[in-house]
Amino acid sequence: MRYRNNRMDSCLDVHWTSGRRNGGAGLAWAVVLGVVVLVSAGPALAQFKVQPMKIDLQVRPGRVATSVVQIQSLDPNETHTIDLSLVDLTQDEKTGAWQIIEPNSDFDRSTLASCKDALRLSHSTVTVGPLQTIPVKLMLRVPRSSRAFSCAGIVASIRPRTDGASNVASVLRFMVPVFMRIQDPNSKPILPTTQCFSHSVIPKYAIIATQSHI
């Protein structure tokens, strides 16, 4: 199958209360277009943001690289809890849309060019006060046998309020793609496939998705 660089980078997924979703089992579709999310998520969009919108690490085998993700509250009144996790990524064969492979999915990960297992976050949960920004450290310990290019994602999701203060029917999630590029002239490059992203396809925006919690 031929890889095409003009594929779509985004799609929208809302996890309804019935538990049904569009697309394959265990895959959460991602969206780049903020205008679409505004219609779908409403006030939830203004609660927090994540920077940078992508992380591109150029490293050597056996080394350790670090980066920082900033979790910023946009809410001037309330305190929010943000859950952070690392996920594998893939692309849809027909549309090229970004997909998150959910942890409980039976998706075959054996063919993925993934760096998820080499990544560590300094925090899995952060609590941000009104308009507060909290840095979260990302560490990449590069295996000596790493492929020339691999990727993963950082998912930041706002935890639903349990005090009855919010009646929003969806949970906003940001997904920041992480790219690992090996700086080794003797490294064998991988061919672009639908199992990960070609080094020539670089996202310009953080990915946003909504997930129902009622």
Give the pLDDT score at 184. Answer: 59
Domain boundaries, the chain: 14-103+110-159+180-195
From the number of C-beta atoms within 10 Å of its C-beta (0-12, 13-18, 19+), residue 5 rates as: exposed
pLDDT band at 166 (very low <50, low <70, confident <90, very high): low
Top pLDDT among 184 and 125 is at 125
Secondary-structure percent of the chain, ordered helix, strand, coil, rounded to 5: 5, 40, 50
For the residues 91-118, what does the mean pLDDT come to? Answer: 77
> Above pLDDT 70, what percent of the chain?
57
For the residues 89-112, what does the mean pLDDT come to? Answer: 75
Q: What is the CATH number of domain 14-103+110-159+180-195?
A: 2.60.40.10
For the residues 168-191, what does the mean pLDDT come to? Answer: 70
Where do the DSSP E strands lie in the chain? 14-15, 27-29, 48-51, 55-59, 64-73, 80-91, 98-101, 119-121, 125-128, 133-141, 149-158, 170-182, 207-212
Give the pLDDT score at 46. Answer: 56
Q: What does the alpha-carbon distance between residue 210 and residue 186 come to, in Å, rounded to a whole number?
A: 42
Give the pLDDT score at 185. Answer: 55
pLDDT band at 111 (very low <50, low <70, confident <90, very high): confident
| Maximal CA-CA distance, the chain | 57
Give the pLDDT score at 16. Answer: 33
130-157: per-residue pLDDT in tens?
A: 999 999 999 999 888 777 888 899 999 9
Q: What does the alpha-carbon distance between residue 179 and residue 54 come to, in Å, rounded to a whole number?
A: 8
pLDDT band at 186 (very low <50, low <70, confident <90, very high): low
116-136: per-residue pLDDT in tens?
A: 999 999 999 999 999 999 999
Instruction: Read off the tokens for 87.
Output: 């996920």
**CB of 150 closer than 8 Å to CB of 114:** yes
Top pLDDT among 165 and 96 is at 96
